[in-house]
């Protein structure tokens, strides 16, 4: 099954909230994934280019798994690297920043990106690699083999040409690929440093070491002796391929220095790089000697050559010079226009940058490691006093600081530079070389200067953006009205919108060795950001805690997070609680907000949302532009807030009211839970502290007393009143634990569930203690009999705790082992209890004994109680069963949530090892090597030993850990939320596909199923044929579960179907695990039609759920034809159609019988724009344009 990734993303390169949305009619169905990711590893963008249409081509390194390259909030496109040293990637983005495509390549070992160039319809890529790799991202194979695959020093360089009129999956995408360095074991190292494509030729510059090097990649040989190291340059004829001997034009050798950049203009070639030491270097590759000598440890050189002559001609060399200081100097980039040449880098001190007789530059340079830009007039000779035009630098504030320009881009007289400055808020740096002072504090810098002015002019600096946080502004490009910048960063939070009031922030993660790539676009005139793409690691940790149903079409999800997270609608700063609303039917996120707090609980009642927070500072709990502050610095508070869900969080009407309960400053323990019913709000939990807890927000006082042990309490509020009203609190009671003489790591507190007029309180009784569960003057003591025991008590919500009838009943479940209650749910007269247990436990509180024995360290126990009876009645316990690992004796299986809906029981938690989820005689095992989340479903109308009791189970396989924290069901849709950590957590429960997400530190997920009742038939095929006057429909299933019968349906237009007949299932009691074949004879159908006939088979299960097979067509010429190919399915904005017809008409029909779209095509493949179609199911009908015959019909799903 094809997995399509889409939906509403809490911006997939951060928090990793995954929303998986299932819309298929297959079993457990087909998902969509939204991630805010937390991968480990490092991603960086080395450089980028912009084509004539404004498309961006990003070139860099990927070291993580499942790195999302799509900046969209509604789609994901991931690549993974299994190479510990990283693979190379190339990604394309449209002018508006939308994702186009990406592919990766590289050999095992270190792969280094060095250069990329876009010219016309072609993309040229150079880099360095080891071992071998396939340069063709399509199905074709073009292998490149490096030298010294097992050596740490050997490496080769590659040059690849791609045709960007095609996509990477097209076999025409790769034009050719070649290497320098060979596959010998000579220890030769070859590094292509730069490439330039001009006038039908490709120029490359680089450096080599180790032995002789063949400059000619064709079958001919042009050997170059590299000796202890040398620079080289090569000219290639772009009209030919490496297989043609005319491909190589010429090549040359220079001295042992770094030949870093090559530019070509006006029949001249310019080389620039770095010299080492004060040794003379011959810059002339011909027989003549033209040497330059550095003055320090590293200096910058610039050389000019004539492109009209080969390197062995004495006319090839034109001129050369170098500049530098006694310290270390470095050039990083050249930019060449018709009349000027610009050089950027850093200098280690004062420097003369004028090669003429004049001495210029000293007044601009002082300090240590200062960023510089120098401008030369290339219409003049190097020796001309007018060759040098201007220079300036950005000097550091301290001798051990470092400033550096990485790249320069020029458009007209506008000069753009990017780089690195070492500054801080307390020590800013002046980025204006004129007398005007423009101070900036940060690390990464992007600045614009007016090249028509002198650096001393106060209008020379146009604007400057500085980005706090470690950032590598590696590459900039100017195209029209946009200036784009690419590189990498390591901050947990980095604002790329430096001057705007609303930040646009990227996150790279917490790990010191992790980083992310980025591509940002700015208005070239203003410097205001217009788009941001981050690629790679995300920081922080999140926990999905709650998911609730609201109305008939919404889910409310909440959890905790730290760091700075990006949730599509807003940037959230933690630590905090996030709350989001999701459209259940479409999976689209409606809104999100966060509060700087710790999460306790949420509940939804009607149109109101109740949230319980705790915090230790003055906190604004109103997410709108208004404010509602509670608490003070140094105080610990519980806050309960109410929000009106008729409004979005941005509305000042969203926040309704709140109140706080002041907690002690030290030495206290607590847990709080909420329950709502009608006009009442219940607060339950446990509290242990050295002072009483006043839970009355009015002027009155209701104290939960101080205690050493954790006392259970329950409070009831009337939410028709304001918290300041004396009648807001209706009553409360405390259930003290005796003896109150020591604290325990396991508190005895309780959670509350309210159904109708009944209150259910459940919790733990500590070792060696007892608890009186009757708050009236009567006494109902329960004492611990083992390690930790479970209690469950029932109260009458219509009475007060002092009333002798308020307490209804209570019982405990205990043994010598340790038990924990986790959750209860109630539907009708059935109460389901989910708990952990160890050893042998009696779950029946009556005189009967119904034992379960844990198979491992701790197992899951699920008990069903009939509320028509009391605990002392033998009919009170209906049934009980356990879930435990049969392969792990040291890990606990854990249940976090039980949910009852429409006579079905759903259980969520985590397991380790292999566990049989079916308590009947049949075995239905799920297996996972690590702690992994699971969900299972049972029909509790049956007993556990009945074959119809177990429905299904699936596991989110994790390499580290994952769990389901809570579940909710709304109008047939099921949502789960929880936590996961590790690589390749599979969120697709279908065995036929995987949908994976990654989290380094830990992330929350939200998973939405379109059908909580998985459809029970796996189709093998559906076919049709004519036999005489009859139509014969054949189909087969590979497995059936709970299947009842099939309905054969026919249609004359492929849209409107009628029933032709029914066929009963051949399975036994609806179940089969073998292939079953079916056929149906539609008698005399040929006589009844003069047109084509369409058939499909509808499957119906025992519960009335149904699904359809594929649609097949019988043409009027009595032949069976296959459907056309339609993809992707599901689709979002575009649908592609392939047909064998030369001319055909495509029509898009809705299930309402309406024709929504149509188009004509004269090519084998065409497309429909579906971005304006409502979400839903459609039929694509293809007709021959000449005959009008229907040649195929396909069902598709349109989603957002």
Structure confidence by residue, pLDDT tens digits, 570-617: 566 678 898 988 887 666 778 889 898 888 899 999 999 999 998 888
Q: What is 924-957 written as a DSSP string?
A: -EEEEEEEEEEEEEEETTS-TTSTTTEEEEEEE-
Say if residue 223's pLDDT is above 70. yes
Say if residue 1084's pLDDT is above 90. no
pLDDT of amino acid 531: 52
Q: How confident is the model at residue 30 (pLDDT cuts 50, 70, 90)?
A: very low
Place of tokens 């801080």: 424
Say if residue 638's pLDDT is above 80. yes
Three-state SS at 82:
coil
Say if residue 1127's pLDDT is above 60. yes
Say if residue 153's pLDDT is above 80. no
Q: How confident is the model at residue 887 (pLDDT cuts 50, 70, 90)?
A: low
Distance of alpha carbon 81 from alpha carbon 348, whole angstroms: 38
pLDDT of amino acid 725: 95
Q: How confident is the model at residue 18 (pLDDT cuts 50, 70, 90)?
A: very low
Q: Over pLDDT 70: what percentage of the chain? A: 81
Distance of alpha carbon 323 from alpha carbon 361, whole angstroms: 10
- CB–CB of 590/648 below 8 Å? yes
Closest CA to 67 of 998, 979, 1000, 993: 998
Q: Is 898 left (phi over 0), alpha (psi -120 to 50) or beta?
A: beta
Say if residue 370's pLDDT is above 50. yes
Q: What is the phi/psi pair of residue 825, to 5°? A: -145, 155
Say if residue 642's pLDDT is above 60. yes
CA dist list (Å): 983 to 9, 21, 66, 221, 1000:
19, 21, 8, 47, 7
Token pair belonging to 204: 């490359």
Q: How confident is the model at residue 37 (pLDDT cuts 50, 70, 90)?
A: very low
Q: How confident is the model at residue 765 (pLDDT cuts 50, 70, 90)?
A: confident
The mean-pLDDT minimum among 505-514, 692-701, 884-893 falls in 505-514
pLDDT in tens, 99-112: 888 999 888 778 88
pLDDT in tens, 309-330: 999 999 999 999 999 887 788 8
pLDDT of amino acid 42: 61
The answer for residues whose C-beta is within 8 angstroms of residue 673's C-beta and 6 or more apart is: 600, 601, 612, 683, 684, 685, 751, 752
pLDDT of amino acid 159: 95
Say if residue 442's pLDDT is above 90. no
Number of neighbouring beta carbons within 10 Å of residue 67: 27
pLDDT of amino acid 657: 96
pLDDT of amino acid 916: 84
pLDDT in tens, 116-147: 999 999 999 999 888 888 889 888 777 777 76
Say if residue 982's pLDDT is above 80. no
pLDDT of amino acid 151: 46
Beta-sheet strand order (sheet of 598-605) = 598-605, 608-615, 636-644, 655-663
Say if residue 715's pLDDT is above 80. yes
pLDDT of amino acid 351: 83
pLDDT of amino acid 589: 77
Q: How confident is the model at residue 364 (pLDDT cuts 50, 70, 90)?
A: very low
Kindly provide the b/e burial profile for residues 99-128, where b requires at least 16 CB atoms within 10 angstroms of the residue's own CB.
Answer: bbbbbbbbbbbbbbbbbbbbbeebbbbbbb
Q: What angle do CA 352, 358, 364 make, to 5 degrees?
A: 40
Distance of alpha carbon 893 from alpha carbon 934, whole angstroms: 10
Say if residue 543's pLDDT is above 90. no
Say if residue 96's pLDDT is above 80. no
pLDDT in tens, 41-71: 566 667 888 888 888 898 988 876 667 777 6
Average pLDDT over residues 243-271: 90
More confident residue, 301 or 182: 301
pLDDT of amino acid 732: 93
Distance of alpha carbon 72 from alpha carbon 100, whole angstroms: 11
Token pair belonging to 875: 């009919």
Question: What is the pTM (predicted TM-score) of this model?
Answer: 0.55
Three-state SS at 991:
coil
pLDDT in tens, 67-84: 777 766 455 566 767 676
Token pair belonging to 585: 């039917």
Mean pLDDT over the full length of the chain:
80
Average pLDDT over residues 1033-1045: 86
pLDDT of amino acid 236: 96
| Domains of the chain (ranges, CATH numbers) | 1017-1198 (2.60.40.3080)
Distance of alpha carbon 1163 from alpha carbon 718, whole angstroms: 69
Q: Is 1002 left (phi over 0), alpha (psi -120 to 50) or beta?
A: left
Strand 1093-1101 with 1112-1114, pairing: antiparallel
Closest CA to 907 of 966, 849, 852, 864: 966
Say if residue 457's pLDDT is above 80. yes
pLDDT of amino acid 335: 92
Average pLDDT over residues 971-981: 80
Distance of alpha carbon 338 from alpha carbon 340, whole angstroms: 6
- CB–CB of 507/494 below 8 Å? yes
The mean-pLDDT minimum among 109-113, 237-241, 409-413 falls in 109-113
pLDDT of amino acid 424: 65
Distance of alpha carbon 1056 from alpha carbon 1154, whole angstroms: 11
pLDDT of amino acid 416: 92
Say if residue 32's pLDDT is above 50. no
Burial of residue 313 (CB within 10 Å: 0-12, 13-18, 19+) is middle
pLDDT of amino acid 991: 44
pLDDT of amino acid 325: 84
Place of tokens 């510089």: 372
Place of tokens 């005489």: 1028
């Amino acid at each position: 099954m094809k997995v399509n990734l889409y939906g509403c993303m809490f911006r997939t390169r951060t928090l990793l909230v995954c929303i998986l949305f299932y819309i298929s009619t297959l079993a457990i169905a087909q998902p969509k994934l939204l991630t805010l990711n937390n991968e480990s590893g490092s991603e960086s963008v080395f450089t980028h280019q912009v084509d004539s249409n404004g498309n961006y081509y990003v070139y860099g390194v990927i070291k993580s798994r499942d790195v999302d390259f799509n900046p969209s909030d509604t789609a994901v496109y991931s690549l993974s690297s299994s190479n510990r040293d990283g693979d190379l990637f190339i990604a394309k983005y449209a002018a508006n920043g939308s994702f186009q495509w990406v592919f990766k390549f590289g050999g095992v070992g270190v792969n280094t990106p060095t250069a990329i160039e876009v010219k016309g319809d072609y993309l040229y890529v150079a880099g360095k690699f080891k071992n071998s790799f396939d340069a063709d991202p399509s199905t074709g194979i073009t292998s490149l083999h490096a030298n010294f695959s097992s050596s740490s020093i050997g490496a080769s360089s590659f040059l690849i040409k791609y045709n960007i009129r095609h996509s990477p999956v097209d076999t025409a995408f790769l034009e050719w690929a070649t290497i320098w360095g060979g596959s010998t074991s000579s220890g030769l190292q070859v590094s292509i440093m730069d490439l330039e494509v001009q006038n039908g030729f490709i120029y490359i510059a680089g450096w080599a070491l180790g032995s002789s090097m063949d400059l000619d990649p064709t079958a001919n040989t042009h050997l170059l002796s590299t000796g202890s190291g040398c620079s080289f340059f090569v000219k290639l004829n772009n009209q030919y391929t490496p297989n043609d001997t005319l491909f190589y034009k010429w090549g040359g050798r220079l001295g042992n220095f770094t030949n870093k950049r090559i530019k070509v203009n006006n029949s001249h070639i310019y080389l620039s790089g770095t010299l080492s030491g004060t040794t003379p270097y011959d810059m002339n590759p011909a027989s003549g000697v033209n040497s330059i000598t550095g003055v320090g440890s590293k200096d910058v050189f610039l050389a000019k050559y004539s492109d009209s002559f080969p390197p062995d001609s004495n006319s090839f060399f034109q001129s050369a010079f170098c500049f530098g200081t006694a310290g270390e100097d470095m050039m990083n980039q050249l930019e060449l226009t018709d009349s000027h040449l610009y050089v950027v880098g850093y200098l280690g001190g004062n420097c003369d940058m004028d090669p003429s007789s004049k001495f210029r530059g000293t007044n601009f340079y002082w300090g240590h490691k200062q960023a510089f830009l120098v401008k030369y007039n290339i219409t003049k000779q190097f020796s001309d006093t007018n060759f040098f035009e201007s220079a300036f630098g950005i000097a550091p504030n301290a001798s051990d600081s470092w400033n550096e320009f990485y790249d320069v881009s020029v458009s007209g007289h506008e000069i753009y530079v990017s780089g690195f400055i070492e500054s801080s808020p307390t020590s800013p740096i002046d980025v204006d070389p004129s007398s005007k002072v423009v101070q900036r504090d940060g690390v990464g810098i992007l600045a614009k200067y007016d090249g028509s002015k002198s650096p001393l002019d106060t209008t020379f600096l146009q604007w400057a953006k500085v980005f706090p946080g470690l950032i590598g502004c590696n590459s900039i490009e100017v195209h029209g009205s946009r200036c784009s910048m690419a590189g990498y960063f390591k901050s947990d939070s980095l604002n790329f919108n430096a001057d705007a009031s609303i930040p646009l922030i990227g996150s790279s993660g917490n790990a010191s060795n992790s980083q992310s790539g980025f591509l940002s676009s700015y208005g070239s005139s203003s410097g205001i950001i217009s788009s941001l793409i981050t690629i790679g690691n995300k920081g922080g940790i999140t926990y999905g805690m709650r998911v609730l149903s609201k109305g008939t079409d919404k889910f409310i999800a909440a959890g905790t997070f730290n760091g700075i997270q990006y949730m599509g609608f807003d940037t959230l700063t933690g630590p905090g609680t996030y709350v989001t609303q999701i459209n259940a039917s479409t999976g689209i996120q409606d809104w999100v907000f966060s509060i700087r707090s710790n999460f306790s609980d949420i509940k939804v009642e009607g149109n109101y949302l109740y949230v319980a927070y705790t915090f230790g500072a003055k906190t604004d709990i109103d997410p709108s532009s208004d404010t509602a502050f509670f608490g003070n610095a140094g105080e610990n508070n519980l806050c309960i807030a109410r929000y009106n869900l008729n409004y979005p969080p941005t509305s000042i009407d969203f926040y309704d009211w709140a109140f706080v309960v002041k907690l002690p400053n030290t030495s206290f323990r607590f847990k709080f839970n909420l329950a709502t019913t009608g006009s009442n709000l219940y607060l339950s939990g446990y509290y242990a502290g050295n002072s009483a807890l006043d839970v009355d927000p009015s002027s009155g006082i209701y104290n939960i007393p101080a205690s050493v042990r954790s006392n259970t309490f329950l409070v009831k509020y009337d939410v028709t009143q304001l918290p300041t009203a004396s009648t807001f609190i209706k009553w409360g009671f405390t259930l003290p634990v005796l003896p109150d003489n020591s604290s325990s790591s396991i508190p005895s507190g309780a959670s509350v569930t309210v159904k109708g007029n009944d209150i259910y309180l459940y919790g733990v009784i500590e070792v060696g203690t007892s608890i009186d569960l009757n708050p009236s003057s009567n006494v109902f003591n329960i004492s611990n009999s083992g390690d930790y025991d479970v209690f469950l008590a029932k109260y009458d919500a219509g009475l007060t705790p002092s009333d002798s009838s308020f307490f209804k009943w209570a019982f405990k479940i205990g043994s010598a082992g340790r038990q924990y209650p986790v959750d209860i749910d109630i539907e009708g007269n059935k109460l389901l209890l989910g708990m952990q247990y160890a050893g042998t436990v009696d779950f029946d509180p009556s005189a009967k004994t119904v034992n379960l024995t844990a198979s491992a360290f701790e197992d899951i126990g699920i008990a069903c109680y009939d509320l028509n009876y009391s605990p002392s009645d033998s009919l009170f316990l209906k049934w009980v069963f356990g879930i435990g690992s049969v392969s792990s004796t040291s890990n606990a299986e854990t249940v976090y949530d039980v949910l009852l809906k429409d006579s079905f029981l759903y259980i969520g938690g985590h397991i380790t090892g292999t566990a049989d989820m079916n308590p009947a005689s049949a075995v239905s095992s799920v297996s996972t090597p690590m702690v992994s989340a699971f969900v299972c479903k049972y029909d509790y109308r049956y007993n556990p030993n009945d074959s119809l009791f177990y429905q299904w189970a699936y596991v989110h396989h994790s390499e580290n850990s994952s769990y389901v924290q809570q579940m909710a069901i709304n109008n047939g849709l099921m949502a789960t939320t929880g936590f996961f950590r590790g690589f390749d957590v599979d969120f697709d429960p279908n065995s036929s596909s995987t949908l994976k997400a990654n989290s380094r530190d830990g992330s929350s997920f939200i998973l939405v199923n379109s059908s909580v009742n998985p459809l029970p038939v796996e189709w093998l095929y559906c076919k049709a044929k004519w036999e005489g006057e009859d139509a014969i429909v054949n189909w087969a299933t590979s497995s059936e579960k709970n299947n009842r019968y099939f309905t054969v349906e026919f249609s004359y237009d492929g849209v409107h179907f009628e029933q032709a007949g029914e066929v009963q299932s051949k399975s036994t009691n609806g179940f089969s695990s073998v292939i079953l074949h079916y056929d149906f004879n539609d008698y005399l159908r040929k006589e009844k039609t003069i047109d084509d006939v369409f058939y499909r088979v509808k499957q119906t299960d025992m519960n009335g759920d149904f699904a359809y097979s594929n649609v097949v067509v019988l043409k009027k010429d009595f032949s069976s034809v296959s459907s056309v190919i339609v993809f992707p399915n599901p689709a979002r904005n575009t649908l592609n159609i392939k047909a064998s017809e030369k001319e055909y008409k495509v029509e898009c029909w809705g299930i309402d019988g309406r024709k929504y779209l149509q188009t004509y095509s004269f090519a084998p493949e065409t497309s429909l724009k579906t971005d304006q179609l409502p979400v839903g199911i459609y039929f694509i009908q293809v007709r021959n344009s000449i005959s009008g015959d229907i040649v195929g019909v396909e069902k598709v799903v349109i989603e957002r």
